[in-house]
Every structure is written in C-alpha cells, then in structure tokens.
Structure 1
C-alpha cells in the first residue's frame, strides 16, 4: 500500500512540472521590417562603344547582390545595358577591348566577366582567373584584347588570353604587398601600383620579369600610401599616390624614364583619354580641368562638383548629338549615378541623374531608440530612420556607417568610415548633410561633424557607449597599422580626449558603460588586416573615465576578436568572441562564465535587457541567456544575423544582409 501511495504521490508531483515545461512559451517569430537602405553606388567604369553601333556609352559596375554591369546613354542617361554579375557584389575594374568587348573584374568572388556586342542584358562569367584571389582590383588590355589584372589578397598580376581563355599567373607584383590597386598598359609593358605601400612596377608580359620604377621626387615616403589610380596616355603614365581622396597625380615620361610633373589635389578615380590636341581632362580641386601635357597648364572648365566625394567613376569622349554639345564632349559618371558632361567648343556643361537602378544596401550598424530604430549602410553608406512597428523608413544619403547610437537626450551618434568621423544628428530637425545630401539652402548641418580622428591615424568609428553625459568612441586604425583608440567626447564643451593603444596593438570592436566605467572588447587585427598581429588574443578591458586610466584588461583564450560586450542583468560583463559567450566580473575582470557554443569564428553581437541577454553566434543562431546562467544555453532561434540591437526591454532588432527584422519579446 505504501508503495502504491508513494507512486501515486510521485505521479501527482510530476504533473505540474511536466505541465509547466509544456507551457513554456515558444520563442517569438522574427518579423521583417523590410529593406530600409537602398541607393545607387557606381564603382569602376569606362567610356567605350556601347550596344548602339557607332555610339559611345558610359559603362559602370553598380553595387548590389548581385552587382550589375551597366551601360548608359551619355546624351540622356537612359539605361542601355543592365546585366547582373551573378555571385559578385561589385567591381572597381572595368576595361574595353578593340573588338567591342567589355570586361569587369569583381569582388568578393574574384571573377572576370565579359560582355560582347549583341549580348543584351547578359554577360559571360569567365570564372576566377587566380584561384587564391577573391578581389580583382584593376584591369587593362592590350592591342590583341588580352586582359591584365591585379588582385587581393595575394597582390598578384595575371593575364587572360582572350583567344584561348588561358590564364597566366605572374605571382605577387611586389613582395609583401597584398593589393595590386591599379594597372595600365603601354608599349608592350604592363604597369601596376600597389597597396599598402605605393610601389610602381613594370611587367614584361612575355618574360614575366618585374622591375620597379623609382618613386617621384615629391613622394619621399611610400609607406601607408597606395597608387590608387594609374593610366597610360600618349607615352606618359599618370599615377595618383594616395587613397580615394584628393592627392598628387604624378606624371612619368616613358621615353625618358623621368617624372616630369605633379598635379596637386587630383580627385581620381580616372582621367580621360587624350583629345585631338593631346589634352586630357580630370577632376582637380573640385572642378573638371583641362591638362596640357606639353605646357603642364591646368585650365578650369567651370564645371564644379560639391560634396565630400568628387571623383570620376568613368570619364571619356562621346558625341552627344545635342544642340549645345557639338562634336565631341567629355562625359563621365559620379558615385551616386549622376552623369556629367562638358563641351569644349561651347563651354556648356551639366549634371543629370542617370537611370541606373537603386540596389539594397547591406546593413552594417543598427540601434534602437525610444521611438525609432536607426540603421547604417555598408560601402554605399546611408542612414535610415525606421518605424519599428511598420518598417516605414526615411533614407538619407551618407557615408559608410560603422556605428549608430541614440543617446539619452534623443540625439543620434553616427560613426563613419573613413577618418573615424563622428557626427551627432537631431532626428527632430531636418536632415541636411553638405557632404552627401544637402537640404535647402540655409538649412543647418544635421548631422553635425563632432570628431575627426584622421590625425590620430584612425579609420573606423566602430563602437559607441554613453557614460556620464559623454560619448565613448572605439576605433580601428587606418592603413597598414595596429592599435585602435578610445576617445571620450564631451558634447557640452565640444572637446575630445583620445587614448591610443588602450590595449596595445589592438582595435576596439565593442563598448558598453556602467557607473562611470567604459568596458570594451578588442581585436588583434589592424586597419587592413595585412600587418601580422603582435598579440594572440582579443581582450576585454575597463576604463575609468573620470581618472583617464585603465583598470584592467583580460585576454579571452583562443579568441582573436571580442566582437561585442554588454552589462548583463546579473551585473557581469558579458561578451561574444567568435564561437564563445563569456562573462567576467567588472571589478577585476576575472572570468566567471564561458560557453563555447559555436562552430565558426563569425561572432556577432550581444545585447542585454532587464531580464536576459541575447547573443548572435555563427551568423545563423540566436541564444538567450538568463541571469546567473550556469549551463550552456540552447539555441533560442535559428535566424541569420549580422548585427543585433535592443529597444528597451521589449524588442530585438536583427539584421540579415539588407533586411531588418524585429523580435517582440513580450509576445
């Protein structure tokens, strides 16, 4: 009898437990808020014969998933070709051959594509010329239509034989240089410019011999520079030593083997072919200029460009057949799909918007605010203000946005690439960016530039935290350097204090703050990830803002990068480092929890609500961690994710490529 009673009691006791487990609510379902960012971004281009016989077209690759090879009518801006480059995101490298073919070299798949007359809106995918390379940065061609290209990450030169399809790999152009950023062909030789150091080399394509061309006298130090552009025109090389921004364009005479001129503040990314009088056109100091190689004279045209980005994505000659544009005109494109043109006979010029299609922009940063969500774009850039209930988005053109954060006063802080620029934006006032998207004349700057860390050799404003009314900024260095910075900006005084190498030779990827202390997560990588790291592990650290001193740092064993950090509801500092979720105490940084739950190093974000933490691992899984977690968490949701943010305690924001999702935690 006692046994029966015990069994019955046990059964009764088990029922509530089983019922409780069965009644655990399932995870909420992610709801798409759509694609909040989309725009035109033209990268590489050229002016060459198009699909209409006897007429020139402007060719450009536009960024997207996939990217597109576009041809535009220079007279109207109408689309003539719009061919998807399946598998490619975009491409800087576009060249034309004598038979009317157009070649595009792309990233991130490193493929070569070819358009031939009569193909319409299609291209041939010629595959990856060099198996180890996933970026083709530059292309040129010879008289026979053979294609020469430069690559990353091996910094290689290759030739594609247009007749047979055979590829010759010439190897690394310059030992230790991982980018062949620019390329040109002249008189049977191929010339290439490298990065992260600006070497100029000459390749004999028959023998494979590579020799270096001495640097110009005015460029004594080629370290941490690039030969960003390179063009061969009428016996001269034009090499621009810098980045995407204005820099000296140096002229090298191939016959005398001497540097003969230096044009200051040239914008790139291209210069025109020579005209009937030997002249070329380029953008210099914000204006289209005529350059005479014989006299070295620069003459303005009156066609000026505004905004931060003022470079030609394609430039060349075309007959437009328009009343104010008799004969041949200079035509070209700008980065946002605008088409510019200038007629040397009449002096007439204008800028019109082309019909290149807008493409979704991959989300690089996301933040939750009291009323809205904010997302920032990769490469094309842009900032959108999103209604977190409906997904309705207001898009604003801007540069690549690495981080966004709404502060307690309602202002939004925006961290940008390059130069680790930081802006403050008041969403209650009209958006007006003179650099990217100006409002009506007289509209105050909004966003307003607050910090520029170029002088501190920083490139990416990667992370924010608010601490005691100040804004903490974590950065990644520029170029081939190691060592990020922690900057503390005071909005009340407009002053900024910058602390380089808070963790020696490591970049700052994540920040959070609590009670006057900033906590960060770091990475062993540098600006271009080309310099070998000096340290083996990423860390977490604590920084006392009032006394400007580091309290402690703790390496996370086996992890090169601590991607993200957050203060949990248990008071511990939690972080994600690749496949690992961990927690340390905030007093001394001692490890308290560690869960190795992932299978890759593609760590994501970790965010905290009042009740739990949410972490992204492997780019495909979300984990929910409760306070005082002792056992490894199970997968909470299988959901592709790049970035995660939280709105209050009730909503997660999750990004997947160009899409934004919400997860309502109270449902």
Structure 2
C-alpha cells in the first residue's frame, strides 16, 4: 500500500522572544517577535505598532529562538533552539544574515545580554555553559560550565551587571553563578536556591524560599531593602499575556498566543489583533477523529489545536487553548466534547465545538482547576498522553515538574469535570506509556525527568484499576526501556526496546515476546481490534493479534508518533507538519 500526503493543516505561532528596534530602513519603531515553528524553520516577525503591518524574515536555520537582542539598531542577534543552538546575526539595513555560528555541544541558547565590556553573552542547554560573542569579529566562544553540579544542564538566563555576568543554573539544583569578566573566574552567588527577582540601575534583588535579598549593583555588597523597593507590576488585561514591551510613546505592546495588543496608559481592555503575517505550518503532535470523520490535532509547540475536514479540505486553527505556554499532548472525545491535557502547566482543558470560542474568559475551552491544588503543579508534562478509560473518564499519564523525578496519573470525570490525581504510583518514575481496555488501564514507567538527565534503573509495566490502585505490576531488568502501550484483541502490547511484548490480562501473564528489527515509535489498534499497527524506523507493520504474524504494510515518510482512524476505516498519520492518508482501509 502507498500513502498520500493530503495537507499541512496545523498552523500557528509560538512567540518565544521579543525586542524593539528603530528600523534603519524607514526610521520607524518596530517590535521584533521571534517565532518558533515546530518541525520547520523559525522566523522573525517585525511589527509596526502604528500601522499594524508585519514583515516575516526566515531564520537561516533551526526551528526558532528564545534569545533575541537588538545590537545598536544595526543588527539583530538571535540564539536558536532546539537542534543546533545557532548564533545568528541579521544586518537590519540589508536584511541579510551573517554566517551562522554555533558550539557543537549546545542545542539551546536561552537569552543574550550585553556585558559591561561590550561583548554579548548567552546561556545554554545541555552543557550549562556561558557563551561569549564578539560582534566586531563575528566570533563565538565557549567560556565553560557555570555550575559545579554535574546534573545541572541549564544556564537558563544570563544578566549583565557591572564587571560580571550573573547566571541562573539548574534544574537539578537551582543556584546563581557569578562570572567575572576581568578574570574569567566563576563562583556561586547568593543564598541556596536564589533566583533573580529584579535588577535596577541601583540594586540586584534575589529571592530564595520566599525571602528577598538586596545587593548594591556596583560592588554586589549586601544592602538593606524590602519589597517596597521593587518596581511596581500592574496585572495585564488578559491572562496568558507574554512579552510586555514598552514602546517609545509610553504604550505597551504585548503578545497573547496568536494575537497581540497595544495598550495606551489608562486603557483597560485593548483590542486583540492577529499577528500580521501568515501562520506557518508546524509539526503535528497528536491526532484524533470525531464521529463525523473530521480530524482534530495539536501543534507540538504553541498551545493550539486544529480541525481538518477530509471531505471538503477545510481547515480551522484555534487560538491558544489555555493561558500556560507549551503544547497539547493528550486528546480524546467524550459525549461531543474534546478533552485535552497540556504541558507546561499540567492543565486539563475541555472544549465543546458546538459552542462559541471564548478562551479569554475561560468559558470554551475551559481550563479545569488543578488537582492536587497548590501554588505550583506537581505534574506538568503529559508524556503518556491520554485515553478514555473503562469508566468512561479522561485519563492522562504524566511526568513530574522540573527538577524532580517522578510522575502520576490523573482522571477527569467527563460528566462533572472533577479532576483526581495520583502522584508517583511508582515512586520516582515518570509515566511514559498509557492504554486502556474495557476493564483496566495499563501504563509503563521511565527514568526521564524535566530538566534532569535520564536515570537508569528497573522500570515497570503496571495494570491499574480505575478505582485508583495497582492490581498487577511487572519489573523489567535494569537497562530495559518499556515505552508505547496499546490494547488490541484482548491483549496488551508493550514496546520494549526492539521487542514487542504481549500481555494476557485474563491470565496475568506475558504471552509472547516478538523481536523486531527497529524500535517502535507508535502503536495503534485497528478499529476491529484484530490487528496492531506498529510504526517504526523502517515503516508501518501490521501484527495479527491472534496468530502473531507480522507483515509490512507500507513505507513511511519518516518517524510517526501520531495516527488515528476515521469512522470509515481510513488511516491518517502525521510526520512533521504534514498529514498523510493510507488507503485502502487496513
């Protein structure tokens, strides 16, 4: 069988960085937005806040950038992510890019600042190093690690203070590091766990465990101070506001998801306007189909969803589904409503497509109250995505918050919308795969941690009763990596490295282990439950669940981690920003 490329239906913005420039071409003030295009090449968007017009400038490489710095209204310096960690330099007058620079070991540059020596500094992932860029020589240097904790992977933010660069290090152990420009020496600074709260022209303020500490900016000597010294912060007119940028005339330019607003002093609720360039195609994260045969999916960064009608070819792309940044991992339909689970706030969202869209007021889609309640979410990344359980409710498997190993399960009651959470059902391990049949839920665990190096220890396959308890558990030998899970034909199938394990829940026993030539990326049961589709590095395979016979169905355009069937039995799958169809029905 052969597949057919049908559309690029997923399109959105994800603005990570911003600054302002006085454009040397027309001497007008422009706002610069750095857009991350997941699975594609990112771009800069220059917006004229007066006219509302926009200009899009593709980056020379990488998917996008957190770091954007205006250098003397002559150049824009851009530090990219997530694959290469380029340092790009754009000549604003000619709109031309210099040759990209990079450190081969770093994949993220988080932000850039100009030191008191006139040079440009940036922090990175995964080496937790400090980079230095010389604009005159167009040269990039690695100045070494900023943390003495080997498990810290992030030099997440850098700040310029006289004679020094202050660096935030994490995520295994949060601390500040102070790098001295004159000597190149680095030392820890401030209290344990301290983070930068504010830097003014007079002082530096840090915060640790709710306590503030103040330092004179010139010599970093401690000084007396309290919260009254901090700059006043007025709440934004809209939740989910990012990049509040002061303009020269006193107005504020701000971004909210796919839109922006310009707020004059004293204005209460400024008009939201679409970002004035076309949304680029972006990588599809998740796919599901509704009863009408329409395909629904999410972008792998940017917190939006889309709908594609295979009959008409019509596509709809949403605004952001919740105020937190990140992306939707889990999607499932129940009683005409679409239930969602999202990183990075650990959010559950419910959307009724039959009602008007009003996310601004949290009406539709609606973000549900977090459980367990608290100032910070305990579970933030729905790594195992979501399923409708045997109880008819919406279940999700999670990874713990940054700097913590662990995970959990949540259930959203699809009638009352009440949320229940089970944190660390397997202590210290993330839930990485999730499936359900008519009796139980099934999940696998792993050693991944947000902002942490993965750990190697014995991981697990768990049978979970929807009442909230483990009823059976298997421990794999250390070094084995269970991942994807699917239920088909009265069996449960688990991808373990380059093997497929079959579990019989009627006998509480493993039935068979099938060696495979390549690791599995995704598992999907056919609608009749008699076959299991296996997406791997070499193509699409079909396994007969009764006999165990496998056959290759098709080649694939690349790795596939999102696929679904429409009610007529047509298989759709995604690779990058593209949606594909496979006919005839399997």
Q: TM-score, normalised by structure 2?
A: 0.86
| Structure-2 residue corresponding to 1:161 | 134
Matched, 1:614 2:581: no
Please say which of residues 477-486 and 503-512 is displaced more in the overlay: 503-512
Matched, 1:657 2:579: no
Q: How big is the shift at 1:476?
A: 1.4
Give the distance between the partners of 2:212 and 2:88, measured in 1 at CA: 30
Distance 1:54 1:451, change over 3 A: closer
Give the distance between the partners of 1:588 and 1:555, measured in 2 at CA: 19
Give the distance between the partners of 2:63 and 2:211, measured in 1 at CA: 30
Distance 1:262 1:661, change over 3 A: farther
Give the distance between the partners of 1:355 and 1:250, measured in 2 at CA: 42
Give the distance between the partners of 2:446 and 2:535, measured in 1 at CA: 18
Matched, 1:315 2:237: no
User: For residues 559-578 of structure 1, what are the alpha-carbon distances to aligned partners after superposition, in whole Å with 9 as ceiling and x for unaligned?
Assistant: 4241x222222x21113345
Q: How big is the shift at 1:139?
A: 0.8
Matched, 1:402 2:329: yes
Unaligned runs of 5+ in 1: 1-26, 264-292, 319-327, 439-443
Distance 1:342 1:305, change over 3 A: closer
Higher relative contact order (CA 8 A, sep 6+): 2
Q: Secondary structure of the residue that 1:638 maps to in structure 2?
A: coil
Distance 1:117 1:393, change over 3 A: closer
Distance 1:617 1:493, change over 3 A: same
| Structure-1 residue corresponding to 2:168 | 193
Say whether the 8 Å CA contact 1:253–1:260 is kept in structure 2. no
Say whether the 8 Å CA contact 1:502–1:550 is kept in structure 2. no
User: For residues 201-229 of structure 1, what are the alpha-carbon distances to aligned partners after superposition, in whole Å with 9 as ceiling and x for unaligned?
Assistant: 221133211122213xxxx755xxxx4x7
Q: How big is the shift at 1:153?
A: 0.6
Distance 1:589 1:204, change over 3 A: farther
Give the distance between the partners of 1:61 and 1:84, measured in 2 at CA: 10
Q: How big is the shift at 1:589?
A: 4.9
Q: How big is the shift at 1:629?
A: 4.0
Say whether the 8 Å CA contact 1:384–1:394 is kept in structure 2. yes
| Structure-2 residue corresponding to 1:284 | none
Greater gyration radius: 1
Give the distance between the partners of 1:54 and 1:591, measured in 2 at CA: 71
Q: How big is the shift at 1:614?
A: 0.7
5 Å-filtered alignment, 1:245-256, equals 252-255=215-218
Unaligned runs of 5+ in 2: none
Matched, 1:627 2:554: no
Q: How big is the shift at 1:388?
A: 3.8
Residue correspondences, number: 566
Give the distance between the partners of 1:565 and 1:361, measured in 2 at CA: 26
User: For residues 60-85 of structure 1, what are the alpha-carbon distances to aligned partners after superposition, in whole Å with 9 as ceiling and x for unaligned?
Assistant: 211222111232223223225x3211
Distance 1:296 1:412, change over 3 A: closer
Matched, 1:368 2:289: yes
Give the distance between the partners of 1:549 and 1:166, measured in 2 at CA: 56
- 1:639 counterpart (557, 564, 567): 557
Distance 1:70 1:446, change over 3 A: closer
Say whether the 8 Å CA contact 1:341–1:349 is kept in structure 2. no
Give the distance between the partners of 1:475 and 1:250, measured in 2 at CA: 35
- 1:52 counterpart (25, 46, 69): 25
Give the distance between the partners of 1:67 and 1:467, measured in 2 at CA: 42
Q: How big is the shift at 1:458?
A: 0.3
Matched, 1:306 2:238: yes
Q: How big is the shift at 1:132?
A: 0.7
Q: Secondary structure of the residue that 1:412 maps to in structure 2?
A: strand
| Structure-2 residue corresponding to 1:384 | 306
| Structure-2 residue corresponding to 1:514 | 437
Structure 1 vs Structure 2 CA RMSD = 3.2
Q: How big is the shift at 1:296?
A: 5.0
Q: How big is the shift at 1:532?
A: 4.4
Give the distance between the partners of 2:466 and 2:32, measured in 1 at CA: 52
| Structure-2 residue corresponding to 1:542 | 463
Matched, 1:472 2:446: no
Give the distance between the partners of 2:467 and 2:398, measured in 1 at CA: 20
Give the distance between the partners of 2:267 and 2:337, measured in 1 at CA: 46
Give the distance between the partners of 1:175 and 1:498, measured in 2 at CA: 36
